Structure 1
Amino acid sequence: MAKLSREQFIAAIAPAVLLVRQEGSPIFPSVRIAQSILETGGVIHAWNNLGGIKVGTGSRNAYWQGEAVVKGTWEYVDNRSIETQAAFRAYRSIYHYYKDQDLFLSAPRYDRVRSAGTPERQAQMFQASGYATDPAYASKLMTLIRQHNLTRYDELGKPQPKPPAFQSDSIVPIIYQGQVLAGGYLKDGVTWIPARRIGEGLGAIIGWTGSKVTANGQELDTILSQSTGYVKIRDLAGILSLGVSWDDQAKAVILE
């Protein structure tokens, strides 16, 4: 895996963090991003577990299907750092990880985390609830939030109005190489995506004829809403020779 700078790491995970927040997650984006930096050292591993969630005794769910990796880790025991081995959950994407983490945090033990009214209070409650054994966990989170101005993502994570053409349609995460590119909209069984944002992210040349979006010179069926052209994900994927699969449990599109 190519080494990412801290800003590259933040940019890579932010779309998933924001989408999950807009779907109703109680976790402040600033806290979530700081936590991911702290837990991983700024590395996105192939198993997409950004928070050290272990296999434990939890049941499979829509976002975790039982996959795991065994890795070295450390724990604080009697204020001493101890190296150990543990089985960690593995995920199809970081979106799947964040959704599973929200399920994990739905336990009564984390009531104070979910109800926290500020990022600082939430960081404190993560530590108070025993989420991590590091006695400096909360202060480390807040240091990262300040260093990288992560509170700017809290504003971006507020619910956004849907485009008029998709008012009654559900949001669908579009996932490529484990990361969320953006959200699309599921309309009458078809997923429509913002062509320029996703297409250019995948390396396509996106154009506009005045009535239709073009991708690498080919016209695509288009819905225009608020000056944004939306196209069918399968049409764009076909031009780029990408496979498309539907994760029915997570309600997500996976590009491969």
Structure 2
Amino acid sequence: MAQLTRKAFFETLAPTVIRIRQEGSPMFPSVRLAQNLLETGGVIHEWFNLGGIKVGSGQTNAYWHGEAVVKGTWEVVDGRNETTRAAFRAYKSVYHFYKDLDMLLNTPRYERVRKALSPERQADMLFACGYATDPSYPSKLKAIINQYSLKKYDAAGTKQVPKPEKLKEAEGITLLYNGLFISSGYLLGGSTWVPARSAGEALGAEIDWTGTQVTVNGDPLESLLSEATGYVPVRALAAALGLAPVWDPAARVILLK
């Protein structure tokens, strides 16, 4: 992906960052976004590693399946910058990367990061716990947070969205496109229902309502109405737009291809 403006970079990532926070991530959205910019320079690469996570022990999990890329990097060793090459984890999506990072942050080593009560304190603790070797890492994160007013995303991460009344027994899942979160989904009876307007318009579709059915680019789909929102099966929405839904059972997400 081409390098984005700073504004576009943050706006592109923010919905996924907020979603992860709502799912219980210990990271403040402001800190996460600042870290992403610092680690990538504003480029979302196709391997979706926005935090410099190395392969390490190579132990796979629900969010990282063993893929890697080798690229140049630098570390601070004995006070000196040293250039080297390292193997970094590659992911199916930005969502997978964030969840894998959260697994790392949930280890005992990063307890002080999880317990931080402010973005500034969390930035300090990332360095103190050994996430980065650059002594300027905390001050760089704080400068980015302040320069781009990233704390505005922190409040959004605390808001919980209730399930639709007619889907209250469903399992909540996540819908991804181009590696990014676009909508919540609700898995019930073998079908995943998604809010037609928010999901469809995020995919470039024209969404309308006949009074009994949702239409996608003029074609009616099986529909469910709850709290004035129309829901459609994700497979039907994808088919109408020439996309294929891929279910990732370990991560409990659907990726649209």
Does residue 1:233 correspond to 2:237, yes or no?
Answer: no
Query: Counterparts in 2 of 1:24-63, with a 5 A limit?
Result: 24-63=24-63
Uncovered stretches (5+) of structure 2, i.e. residues with no partner: none
Partner residue in 2 for 1:180: 181
1:168 aligned partner, one-letter code: E
| Distance across 2 between alignment mates of 1:149 and 1:39 | 18
Does residue 1:219 correspond to 2:220, yes or no?
Answer: yes
* Contact 2:245/2:255 (<8 A) preserved: yes
| Distance across 2 between alignment mates of 1:144 and 1:124 | 14
* Contact 1:16/1:95 (<8 A) preserved: yes
Query: Counterparts in 2 of 1:156-195, with a 5 A limit?
Result: 156-158=156-158, 159-195=160-196
Deviates more, 1:127-136 or 1:216-225: 216-225
* Contact 2:2/2:43 (<8 A) preserved: no
* Contact 1:181/1:198 (<8 A) preserved: yes
Query: Counterparts in 2 of 1:103-252, with a 5 A limit?
Result: 103-158=103-158, 159-252=160-253
Deviation at 1:58, TM superposition (A): 4.2
CA distance 1:225–1:147, shift in 2 (3 Å): farther
TM-score by length of 2: 0.96
| Distance across 2 between alignment mates of 1:163 and 1:148 | 34
Deviation at 1:77, TM superposition (A): 1.3
| Distance across 2 between alignment mates of 1:167 and 1:15 | 23
Q: Give the 4+ runs in structure 1 shifted more than 3 A.
A: none
Give per-residue Cα distances to partners, 1:120-161, cap 9 Å, x unaligned: 111111111111011011111111111111111111111332
Deviation at 1:208, TM superposition (A): 1.1
* Contact 1:76/1:134 (<8 A) preserved: yes
* Contact 1:67/1:89 (<8 A) preserved: yes
Deviates more, 1:50-59 or 1:87-96: 50-59
* Contact 2:194/2:232 (<8 A) preserved: yes
2:187 aligned partner, one-letter code: L
Instruction: Please state whether the residue corresponding to 2:187 is helix, strand or coil.
Output: strand
Uncovered stretches (5+) of structure 1, i.e. residues with no partner: none
CA-atom RMSD, angstroms? 1.2
Deviation at 1:164, TM superposition (A): 2.2
Deviates more, 1:85-94 or 1:238-247: 238-247
Give per-residue Cα distances to partners, 1:184-238, cap 9 Å, x unaligned: 1212221111111111111111111122211010111222222221111100111
